[in-house]
Amino acid sequence: MSETSVLVEACVTSPEEATACFNAGVDRVELCQELSIGGLTPPRSDVTTVLSNGPGPTFVLVRPHADSFRLTPTEVDALADTVASLVQLGADGVVVGMLDEDGHVDRAAVEEVVQAADGRPVTFHRAFDEVDDPLTEVNSLIRADVSRVLTSGGADTAWEGRETLRALVETCGDDLTVLGGGRIRGDHVRPLVEATGLTEVHARASAIPDLIAGLEAS
């Protein structure tokens, strides 16, 4: 973690972006593809390249399609198999997000994925921003042994959702890490961290240089 005591995760879509972000000073990358539709599982070739070349932890997004965050039992089984294969490949963690038909965290599906991850950390992604009551729903993630939740606090941006983010940080304590994400930029990342108590932030690769500069500014 950087001297700012805030861990920075970059969302990257290629090995080249991963290398550039690590060189810029990020602590971890999330590898995916097709960010224009919210992100999908990246090609296996990209995963192996980043794991071979990356000097820091690499989490891999596992999302089979962009239709919705509601998966059939067959799709959940396939997703869990993908998670297991990524762990065997050497992924440091995985990123997933499943909701049930009522819009709640699909705890059974999440637990299946956590088991497939075999001890590697699991991040629940911004599907969480679709739930109606995040302070209640986050308990399902804690009980399922999820490691962190990526969220903007249910708002369009993390800055707009800062009150909910702070409440989530206070609710989760040491049980689950709140990873703040949602158009976080260098000109407001420090005030955001101070307002929420976030210890980890997430941004696209293009925002990383300014974000790190903002964290390092006095």
Domain boundaries, the chain: 7-216
Instruction: Please choose, from the candidates 158, 168, 151, 76, the residue with its C-alpha nearest in 3D space to the C-alpha of residue 114.
Output: 76
Tokens 């297991």 belong to: 84
DSSP 188: T
Q: 155-173 burial, b if ≥16 CB within 10 A, otherwise e?
A: bebbbebbebbbbbbebbe
User: Which superfamily does 7-216 belong to?
Assistant: Copper homeostasis (CutC) domain (3.20.20.380)
pLDDT of 217 reads 87
pLDDT of 4 reads 52
pLDDT of 2 reads 45
> What phi and psi values does residue 181 have, to the nearest 5 degrees?
-150, 155
Residue-wise pLDDT tens for the chain (218 aa)?
A: 444 589 999 999 999 999 999 999 999 999 999 999 999 999 999 999 999 998 999 999 999 999 999 999 999 999 999 999 999 999 999 999 999 999 999 999 999 999 999 999 999 999 999 999 999 999 999 999 999 999 999 999 999 999 999 999 999 999 999 999 999 999 999 999 999 999 999 999 999 999 999 999 85
Which DSSP helix (H) or strand (E) runs through 93? strand 93-96
Query: Would the pTM of this model clear 0.75, i.e. be above it?
Result: yes
pLDDT of 42 reads 98
DSSP 201: E
**Cβ-contact 142, 172 below 8 angstroms:** yes
**Cβ-contact 204, 176 below 8 angstroms:** no
Report how far residue 23's alpha carbon sits from residue 140's, in angstroms, rounded to the nearest whole number: 36
